[in-house]
């Protein structure tokens, strides 16, 4: 992505420079010592990061500084005690752990189940393949709001009659319904179909089983697609709010967005406390995002380019 970011600016600049070879010294005076694009980029960036900055500033203010108008732009002392205070009034560590468990489990099960199904749909001929695939594609188009009420009833039933760990008010209920997605199966099937058949055929002649071929030959070739699916599934799971809101009521089963929303409901005017809790909720994801920025950006860009 960054490797191909050669841009239009140098080319255009070169053309203009050669066209205005004999510019008078008077005009050259107006030349800035830096690219004029900084004049656009700096204000735009400030607007983008301002909410983050104000979030951080408020998180170390005293309650009386926060409830002051005009706002206190620079706190007199940095009240870091807001952070332990927030941790004492809501178990953010637990929320984080739940979010992480749900996201990681969802990503792993999607990688496994969607690879298996996507590969079979791409390569095998079996009875009912067309019909099954059509049903999967149909579910892909339906918004979650259509399925959420029956999903709630089914999850409740499963928890009572089959396994409490996947029932209502348990984080298992956040994993199982998303353990495989229609998008994942479709996405990987499309990718598998672009791979050359020769490797698989020769491995088959050598007597390798279908599962071995998938694991040893196909999946290594599909690493970029798997990384994309992992990144998108992770983001989706981490930010999901509506389903946890419906499925979870106990504090110790809440994920970060739900826990944070509940915390906000209980402390809606204690702004420094609220902002300290908010900072703690978003820092882990920001760190993950910065570390894996390349992957996230490439994955998002890939969905856009695939869609066009």
Partner 1 sequence: MAVSAARRRMAASEQLAGWAFVTPGVAVIMLFGAVPIAWSAVMSFQRNNLVSPSTPLAGLKNYRQMVHDPIVAQAIQHTLVYTALFVPGTMLAGLFLAVAMNRKVRFISLYRTAAYATMAISTISEAIVFIWLFDPSYGIANYLLGLIGVPPQQFLNSPSQALYVIVVMTVWGWTGFATIIYLAALQGIPQTLLEAAAIDGAGPWRTFRRVTLPLLSPASLFLAVWLTINALQLFDEVYLSTQGGPLNATTVLVYYLYDQAFQQFNFGYASAIAYFLFLVIIVITAIQFRVGRRFTYYRS
Shortest separation between residue 239's beta carbon and partner 1, angstroms: 5
Residue among 160, 165, 261, 266 that touches partner 1 (CB under 8 A): 261
Handedness of CA 219, 225, 231, 237 (dihedral sign): negative
Beta carbon nearer to partner 1, 4 or 24: 4
4 forms part of the interface with partner 1 (CB under 8 A): yes
Q: Which of 17, 23, 149, 162 binds partner 1 (CB under 8 A)?
A: 149
* Separation of alpha carbons 192 and 115, rounded Å: 9
Report the alpha-carbon distance of residue 256 to residue 91 in Å, rounded. Answer: 10
Q: Which of 17, 146, 163, 266 touches partner 1 by CB under 8 A?
A: 146
# binding residues, partner 1 (CB under 8 A): 106
> In the complex, what is the shortest distance from the CB of residue 115 to partner 1, in angstroms, rounded to a whole number?
9
Q: In this chain, which of 132, 195, 208, 217 binds partner 1, going by CB under 8 A?
A: 132
Stretch that binds partner 1, among 43-51, 74-82, 190-198, 222-230 (CB under 8 A): 43-51
Can residue 126 be called a binding residue for partner 1 (CB under 8 A)?
yes
CB-CB contact of 295 with 231 (8 Å): yes
User: Which residues between 197 and 216 bind partner 1 (CB under 8 A)?
Assistant: 210
Smallest distance from partner 1 to CB 28, Å: 20
Please state the length of the chain.
308
Which listed residue (96, 257, 270, 273) binds partner 1 by CB under 8 A?
257
Rule CB under 8 A: is residue 221 a binding residue for partner 1?
no
- Spatial CB neighbours of 244, under 8 Å, sequence gap ≥ 6: 174, 254, 255, 257, 258
Q: How far apart are CA 94 and CA 112, in angstroms?
A: 27
Nearest to 122 by CA among 180, 191, 213: 191
Residue that the structure tokens 């030959």 belong to: 217
Asked if 7 touches partner 1 (CB under 8 A), the answer is yes
Among 87, 100, 101, 116, the residue binding partner 1 under the rule CB under 8 A is 116
Verify binding: residue 250, partner 1, rule CB under 8 A.
no
Cα–chain-centroid distance for residue 232? 5
Tokens found for residue 67: 């409830």
- C-alpha of 28 from chain center: 47
Whether cis (ω within 30° of 0) applies to the bond prior to 246 is no
Q: Which is nearer to partner 1, 182 or 225 (CB)?
A: 182
The answer to whether 167 and 159 are in contact (CB under 8 A) is: yes
CB 199 within 8 A of CB 162: no
User: Is the Cβ–Cβ distance between 246 and 229 less than 8 Å?
Assistant: no
Does 1 bind partner 1 (CB under 8 A)? Our answer is yes
Q: Does 114 contact partner 1 by CB under 8 A? A: yes
| Among positions 100, 179, 195, 217, the unique one binding partner 1 when judged by CB under 8 A | 179
Q: Is 182 in the site for partner 1 (CB under 8 A)?
A: yes
Please state the closest distance from residue 223 (CB atom) to partner 1, in A: 20
- Ranges within 72-111 binding partner 1 (CB under 8 A): none
């Amino acid at each position: 992505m960054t490797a191909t970011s050669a841009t239009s600016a140098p080319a255009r600049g070169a053309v203009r420079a050669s066209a205005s070879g004999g510019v008078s010294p008077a005009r050259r005076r107006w030349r800035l010592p830096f690219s004029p694009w900084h004049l656009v980029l700096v204000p735009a960036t400030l607007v983008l990061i301002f909410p983050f900055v104000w979030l951080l500033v408020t998180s170390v203010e005293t309650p009386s500084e926060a409830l002051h108008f005009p706002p206190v732009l620079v706190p007199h002392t940095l009240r870091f005690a807001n952070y332990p205070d927030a941790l004492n009034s809501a178990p953010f560590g637990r929320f984080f752990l739940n979010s992480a468990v749900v996201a990681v489990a969802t990503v792993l099960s999607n990688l496994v189940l969607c690879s298996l199904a996507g590969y079979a749909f791409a390569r095998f001929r079996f009875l009912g393949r067309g019909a099954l695939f059509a049903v999967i594609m149909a579910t892909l188009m339906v918004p979650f709001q259509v399925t959420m009420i029956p999903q709630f009833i089914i999850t409740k039933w499963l928890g009572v009659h089959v396994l409490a760990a996947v029932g209502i008010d348990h984080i298992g209920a956040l994993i199982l319904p998303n353990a495989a997605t229609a998008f994942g199966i479709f996405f990987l099937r499309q990718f598998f179909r672009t791979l050359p058949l020769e490797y698989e055929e020769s491995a088959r002649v050598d007597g390798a089983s279908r599962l071995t071929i998938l694991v040893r030959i196909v999946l290594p070739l599909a690493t970029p697609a798997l990384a994309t699916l992992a990144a998108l599934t992770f983001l989706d799971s981490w930010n999901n709010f509506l389903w946890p809101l419906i499925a979870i009521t106990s504090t110790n089963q809440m994920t970060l967005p739900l826990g944070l929303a509940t915390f906000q409901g209980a402390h809606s005017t204690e702004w420094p406390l609220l902002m300290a809790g908010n900072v703690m909720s978003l820092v882990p994801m920001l760190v993950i995002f910065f570390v894996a920025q390349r992957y996230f950006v490439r994955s998002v860009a890939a969905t856009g380019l695939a869609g066009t």
